[in-house]
Amino acid sequence: MKKRIIERTMFYGAKSNIFEKAKALRNNMTAGEQKLWDELKVNKIKGYRFKAQHPISKYIADFYCHKAKLVIEIDGNIHDNENIKERDEGRTFEIENFGLKVIRFNNNHVLNNIEEVINEIKNNL
């Protein structure tokens, strides 16, 4: 029964429509997301389990580790737009209110410096 409670709470009240969107996003990852996922899946980093495109309340985190309470976001160039930056800050604030930590990487950084990205993730676990 305890496992079932953990499974429910790790989604922070996400509704069914968010789960449907997350599934679609898992099937259409960006190149950067896919490259990082290849490193995160199957508990490759310190044995921590990550989920790709994970529902958290009304949001979908690119990657989430429940044990570490860590959210990883991969941002494309559109996130350089001032309006998008403001939206991202609000989203981060709301997610962090659940007691989670959010770290962000630029898509190009993931594609060109995956070792650096992995080290930063390890430092946050």
Measured at the CA of 74, the angle between CA 21 and CA 122, to 5 degrees, comes to 120
Tokens for 115, please give them.
């070792």
The CA-to-CA distance between both ends of the chain, in Å, stands at 27
Q: State how far the Cα of 27 lies from the Cα of 46, in Å rounded to an integer.
A: 26
Q: State how far the Cα of 100 lies from the Cα of 109, in Å rounded to an integer.
A: 23
Question: Which tens digits make up the pLDDT trace of 46-83?
Answer: 999 999 999 999 999 999 999 999 999 998 766 566 77
Place of tokens 């990852």: 29
Question: Which tens digits make up the pLDDT trace of 12-39?
Answer: 989 999 999 999 999 999 999 999 999 9
